[in-house]
Structure 1
Amino acid sequence: MSVNTNLLGRALLRNRGRVASGSLLIGVHQGCEALVPILIGVIVDRAVATRDLCMLAVWVSALGALYLLLTVAYRTGARQLMRAIADEAHRLRLEVAAKVLDPRTEVRTGDVLTISTTDADTTSYLLDYLPRLFGALVATAISATGLFLISVPLGLVVLIGIPVVLIGLQRAAPRIIRRVIARQEVAGRAASLATDLVTGLRPLRGIGAQEAAARRYREVSRESLGATMRAAKTLGWFQAASDTVSTLVACGIAILAGWFALTGRISAGELVTVIGLAAFLGEPFATLSAAPGWFASSRASAQRIEAILGRVPAGVPAGDNPIPPVRGECVGVVAEPDASALVALFDDGSPDVLVAPHLPELFSGTIRDNLIDAEGDELPAVLRASAADDVVAAHPDGLDHAIADRGAALSGGQRQRLALARALLARPRLLVLHEPTTAVDAVTEHAIARGIRDLRHGPGSTLGTLLVTTSPALLAITDRVVVLRDGEVVATGTHASLAATDDDYRTAVLR
């Protein structure tokens, strides 16, 4: 189903069975809750006032059966709704993950974190809000009917008061949506920045920039705190207003009932019923008055999810690959504006093609484990070509040095060099490297460039290498360079000739 502005409607549609049965059972539960004070009033008038033990036993048994029914209905209904909420949140997380895992889609890490957790949960809570609203309406209708049977003015207080309260509170919904969206946006930026800082902590320390980075994070964190406080303040005022109005309505019903009892217009049992219903009505009143705020939060989170799911990935070059697979040749590619789209074209699972992504992934284990085939005769040459021999030599355990999940304890440059060594060890017929040296220093980058050339393109080699990069050090060792702009080949030649004659190439590459 295509993404549109009806993400909440889609959630309801694909969970309609559980939501319908859960709503029915929650409605039964709330209806039984409303009947409890009515039944107690009947017991007072027909059994206690008349001192009829048989009637007392009958009505107390009925009250016990009512409690059993409301308990079973609530447990069963709540179980159905919790399953629906969990399943829907899981589906939304999978959809967000599928979108952000597309290499052509640019999404901040912090946005992914908040949207796939907080927003997915808040959106799925709609499946609980509607049954609760339905139950509140059932309880209110039964209570209003009971009050009407006792006294028409008491019933009118409920029927007139509720619509007035709901209309007034609904006016606050747009402000709640705006502030919740603002809070989540800033929280996403803060989480994204924190992730970047943790990932790049060692390089930041190396260049002495950790204090500036920490200062920037403090600024974003304070901004996030301010947005959170504003959203909380709005929700707090809304909740306080709804609770106050609910309490005032319940108190008004109780006071009016007390007056009617003193003037003899209602019996003692009816007074007990009215007081009980007035106390009970605080719950459905609170639900009805808070519902606009709940739905506003769900809509705000749904809008953020839709913004991610509705993103159109950067366009891929039309037709066949503009760069044919190379054999025995080292080709450089400068792709604008999005090199990821080009790289994705080669990632088709072919056994002859290996794509090494820009962001390398290491797994927990040893350096030897991450290199996969770390026992062959080519290992020393590969480690030298990728400059990964320095990474191995930096640790007393050498190849047996333990690596944390995703290489968290290594610098970005160390991770890139180990990932490059792993790709070179595989010796694919065509190796596609996407910006493999962005985290290393200039001296190391030149050494890696020469190492790739010597290892894969010696005399008589039939191996092909595609370097998708803007690094002049890497482009300088290629046989030719192809410049792509919006999927079209706009220039070809050697790095030296393009640098000398093409102003746009110089702007993109020379730095």
Structure 2
Amino acid sequence: MNILWRALLRNRGKVTLGTFLIGVHQACEALVPILIGVIVDRAVATRDLGQLVLWVGVLAVLFLALTTAYRLGARLLMRAIADEAHLLRLEVAAKVLDPRTEVRTGDVLTISTTDADTTSYLLDYLPRIFGALVATAISAVGLCLISVRLGLVVLIGTPLVLLALQRAAPRITKRVAARQEVAGRAASLATDLVTGLRPLRGIGAQEAAAHRYREVSGESLEATLRAARTMGRFQAASSTVSTLLACGIAILAGWFALSGRITPGELVTVIGLAAFLGEPFGTLSAAPGWIASSRASAERIAAVLSVSPESPPPGQIPIPSVRGGECVGVVAESDAAALVELFDDGSPDVLVAPHHPELFSGTIRQNLINPEKSDLPSVLVASAADDVVAAHPDGLDHAIADRGAALSGGQRQRLALARALLAEPRLLVLHEPTTAVDAVTEHAIARGIRDLRHRPGSTLGTLLVTTSPALLAVTDRVIVLRDGEVVATGTHASLAATDETYRAAVLR
């Protein structure tokens, strides 16, 4: 997937117009020293007031044009950059939110922020390169009109400088990619450590975890320094070469003026163009490094977007049918996760609550998504989340950290279950929703789910993928899956009484 090419295509309108306007701005910038030279020769040297007023007026119009072109062009390009970065973040988020896609958390952070921004900057780099080429071409033509030798220095020297600097682009790409890769590993490890801080303290492993993070952080620092050194050397070389080229033009022009080959106005033009050419030369010499950075980030984004979700082969795992008003339990000895994924197809009538709940920073109320529904108290009781709310003075307005880091595993599970129950989907699929709660709470939750969703006359269906006897006991029927096949069906009580394998799997 060519992320850079696609970015250009879907922003081609803004980029095309923005590039044209930046080209106009740079063309006007290059014409400024040429016009000043004309003013010196035609108005100052001849003391002609009419010519002075005329050419100063032309210069004022030129400044108005270059200012307007830059403001409009920069605004278009900044909008294109922001839109593209936003779209890339949405695509990365959609890919990693698919439970079937495995991507390290730290990689998600760096790819959706740094890499998305660096990739979208290409939409600014190319117009700037185009503008620098326009400015260089106009300056070269202006110098040729004054002296062919001066023009040839620009026309020949610029491509040679660019070709020499381009040789460093592959190394820059490699170093930037390595830096982002190690930074992703460090961020991922830090996220895992923060999430599992309580268990680590419980087993006394916080020092070992901290040592491991210091190692990865050190690797990230070293990779960052290597990339910075490479970019620093490249920028130093490009600036030095660009400055030397501009100085060479100015020195050559001074010699021509002393020998009488050019007029005072032409000398002013040459000196002005030599000073001005430092900007486009700097842009053109830095361009390979910019492109290399964008390409490195684009390759990391493409690697994530090209990951294919791992789906079980069609027909390998039977999909249990759940009738309206029915509560069905599924004991899948080895296919539980794959079975749950089969229901996660984005249907508005089906809600899949994963085994590992995700909470975000905010209040308990905000995490419940729709806490204004009239049956909120019943939902909190059914999920045993009323204890979590009551444990804090602020109640529903209690602030929780990202991923619920300050909550216990059982509290996170109960809040996630409350959120799922509050949505009232036609079919609710729950995958082991009570593994982090105690036995008493588990029985209360099982009865609460049954009473809330399957009261008389209810048309709602619930599928419990679990091995919890408390949850299975409130189901209408239980389906036992083994190696992708249905091996037993019946009530929890009947299976527990007659199937020894079932007893071994669920009775504990």
| Same fold at TM > 0.5 | yes
Equivalences, count: 487
**Secondary structure at 2:377's aligned position in 1?**
coil
- 8 Å CA contact retained: 2:95, 2:304: yes
Does residue 297 of the first structure (1) align with residue 293 of the second (2)? yes
- 8 Å CA contact retained: 2:442, 2:470: yes
Q: 1:318-337 residue pairs with structure 2 within 5 A? A: 318-319=314-315, 321-325=318-322, 327=326, 329-336=328-335
- 8 Å CA contact retained: 1:250, 1:282: yes
Amino acid at match of 2:310: A
Give the deviation of 1:325 after TM superposition.
2.6
* The one of 103, 109, 116 aligned to 1:107: 103
Give the deviation of 1:275 after TM superposition.
1.0
Q: Deviations over 1:13-51 (max 9, x none)?
A: 121121111111111111111111111112222222222
**Secondary structure at 1:331's aligned position in 2?**
strand
Distance 1:286 1:416 in 2: 56
* The one of 53, 56, 59 aligned to 1:63: 59
* The one of 428, 433, 441 aligned to 1:436: 433
- 8 Å CA contact retained: 1:105, 1:314: yes
Distance 1:379 1:61 in 2: 76
Partner of 1:49: 45
**Structure 1 residues 349, 83: CA separation in 2 closer, same or farther (over 3 Å shift)?**
closer
Partner of 1:357: 354
Partner of 1:417: 414
- 8 Å CA contact retained: 1:103, 1:340: no
Distance 2:346 2:124 in 1: 42
Distance 1:266 1:510 in 2: 100
Give the deviation of 1:361 after TM superposition.
4.5
Distance 2:425 2:8 in 1: 49
Partner of 2:205: 209
Does residue 88 of the first structure (1) align with residue 84 of the second (2)? yes
Distance 2:62 2:423 in 1: 71
Q: Deviations over 1:92-133 (max 9, x none)?
A: 122222222222222222222211111111111111111111
Partner of 1:348: 347
Structure 2 residues without counterparts, runs of 5 or longer = 490-494
Distance 1:60 1:428 in 2: 73
Q: Deviations over 1:52-109 (max 9, x none)?
A: 2222222222222211111111111111111111111112122222222222222222
Distance 1:510 1:171 in 2: 67
Partner of 1:265: 261
Deviates more, 1:353-362 or 1:275-284: 353-362
Deviates more, 1:488-497 or 1:165-174: 488-497
Give the deviation of 1:450 after TM superposition.
4.8
Distance 1:63 1:345 in 2: 65
Amino acid at match of 1:79: R
**Secondary structure at 2:357's aligned position in 1?**
coil
**Secondary structure at 1:184's aligned position in 2?**
helix
- 8 Å CA contact retained: 1:332, 1:481: yes
Distance 1:418 1:150 in 2: 78
Give the deviation of 1:176 after TM superposition.
0.9
Distance 1:437 1:147 in 2: 79
**Structure 1 residues 102, 474: CA separation in 2 closer, same or farther (over 3 Å shift)?**
same
- 8 Å CA contact retained: 2:133, 2:280: yes
- 8 Å CA contact retained: 2:165, 2:238: yes
Partner of 2:180: 184
Partner of 1:159: 155
Give the deviation of 1:340 after TM superposition.
7.2
Amino acid at match of 2:332: V
Distance 1:264 1:346 in 2: 81
Identity of aligned residues (%): 67
Does residue 274 of the first structure (1) align with residue 270 of the second (2)? yes
Partner of 2:398: 402
Partner of 2:74: 78
- 8 Å CA contact retained: 2:340, 2:429: no
Give the deviation of 1:306 after TM superposition.
1.0
Q: 1:210-249 residue pairs with structure 2 within 5 A? A: 210-249=206-245
Amino acid at match of 1:220: V
**Secondary structure at 1:355's aligned position in 2?**
strand
Q: Deviations over 1:405-438 (max 9, x none)?
A: 6645312332113434565788988652223245
Structure 1 residues without counterparts, runs of 5 or longer = none
- 8 Å CA contact retained: 1:150, 1:266: yes
Does residue 20 of the first structure (1) align with residue 16 of the second (2)? yes
**Secondary structure at 1:315's aligned position in 2?**
coil
Does residue 198 of the first structure (1) align with residue 194 of the second (2)? yes
Give the deviation of 1:470 after TM superposition.
7.3
**Structure 1 residues 428, 17: CA separation in 2 closer, same or farther (over 3 Å shift)?**
closer
Amino acid at match of 2:279: E
Distance 2:15 2:397 in 1: 53
TM-score (norm 2): 0.83
**How well do the aligned residues superpose, as a CA RMSD in angstroms?**
3.7
- 8 Å CA contact retained: 1:104, 1:341: no
Give the deviation of 1:248 after TM superposition.
0.7
- 8 Å CA contact retained: 2:331, 2:478: yes
